[in-house]
């Protein structure tokens, strides 16, 4: 008689561990190792071959590339600032470019230390110079896209008198450009062997808030004011709400003025 308590010694089938293949490192393709000798090549590379830029940012002597990208960023920001200032002309033709270029660099400068700290906490092996290079690439890509939007912004600035509409249009262009720049930063950050992107996502929120607050701290960028810089402190949401209210009041006054008496 068979023993009913006999236990089976069969080994259950094992599910093999599967790990998705790691993405190729920058420089694996020969074209990604081609040198970037000047600023013009740097512009073409970040638009067509961003991994080529990421590769050279991790190589010795990346300081020249970072300097070229920052120079391009400042020049593009100045040009776009002229387009912003053309809405009101006068003082804004020189004030708006200086505010946009200076505000952009200041926002990057005050946010850079927190990004490096988050990178270290995430296990990234990128050095401070490489983090600076990724941020410089972020800013350069943003400003290049703004130059692409500049003709559209100029057309509306010459054909409309609505300050609210122009402000919304410029903010829309900034957010689109920022989204593409942040995508470059995230791709480069992921290739630095960071174990988590939580720190980077937190930094992105901080960076976006700083940039939009900077547009309020340096007002007016669109339109005019008695002073070059504001004399009253405001949170950017409060400033936007005030602009919308003033725009609605102006439209109502215009409609009332057109009514027959």
Other beta carbons within 10 angstroms of residue 56's beta carbon come to 24
**C-alpha distances in angstroms, 26 versus 31, 44, 207, 219?**
10, 17, 26, 41
Q: Read off the pLDDT of residues 197-208 as tens digits, 9 standing for 90 and up.
A: 889 999 999 999
Q: How confident is the model at residue 251, as a pLDDT?
A: 64
Q: Read off the pLDDT of residues 156-173 as tens digits, 9 standing for 90 and up.
A: 999 988 888 999 999 999
CA distance 92 to 97: 8
Q: How confident is the model at residue 17, as a pLDDT?
A: 46
Q: Tell me: pLDDT of 20 over 50.
A: no
Q: How confident is the model at residue 250, as a pLDDT?
A: 65
Q: Which of 139-143, 185-189, 223-227 has the highest mean pLDDT?
A: 139-143
Q: Model pTM? A: 0.84
Tokens matching residue 83 = 């387009």
Q: Is the peptide bond before 244 cis (omega within 30 degrees of 0)?
A: no
| CB-CB contact of 139 with 69 (8 Å) | yes
Q: Where are the domains of the chain?
A: 30-250
Average pLDDT across the chain, whole number: 86
Residue with tokens 């983090």: 131
How confident is the model over 126-139, as a mean pLDDT? 93
């Amino acid at each position: 008689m068979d023993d009913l308590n006999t236990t089976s010694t069969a080994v259950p089938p094992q599910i093999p561990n599967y790990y998705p293949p790691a993405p190729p490192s920058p420089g694996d393709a020969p074209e990604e190792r081609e040198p970037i000798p000047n600023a013009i090549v740097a512009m073409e590379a970040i638009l067509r071959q961003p991994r080529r830029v990421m590769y050279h940012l991790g190589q010795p002597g990346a300081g020249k590339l970072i300097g070229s990208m920052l120079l391009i960023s400042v020049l593009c920001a100045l040009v776009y600032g002229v387009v912003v200032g053309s809405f009101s002309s006068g003082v804004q033709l020189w004030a708006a470019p200086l505010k946009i270029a200076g505000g952009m660099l200041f926002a990057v400068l005050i946010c850079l230390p927190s990004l490096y700290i988050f990178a270290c906490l995430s296990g990234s092996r990128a050095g401070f110079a490489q983090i600076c290079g990724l941020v410089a690439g972020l800013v350069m890509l943003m400003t290049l896209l703004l130059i692409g939007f500049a003709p559209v912004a100029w057309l509306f600035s010459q054909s409309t008198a609505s300050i609210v509409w122009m402000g919304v249009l410029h903010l829309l262009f900034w957010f689109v450009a920022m989204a593409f720049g942040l995508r470059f930063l995230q791709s480069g950050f992921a290739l630095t062997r960071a174990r988590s992107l939580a720190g980077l996502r937190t930094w992105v929120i901080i960076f976006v808030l700083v940039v939009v607050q900077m547009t309020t701290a340096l007002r007016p960028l669109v339109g005019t004011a008695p002073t070059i810089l504001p004399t009253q402190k405001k949170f950017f949401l409060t400033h936007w709400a005030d602009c919308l209210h003033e725009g609605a009041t102006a439209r109502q006054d215009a409609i009332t003025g057109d009514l027959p008496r």
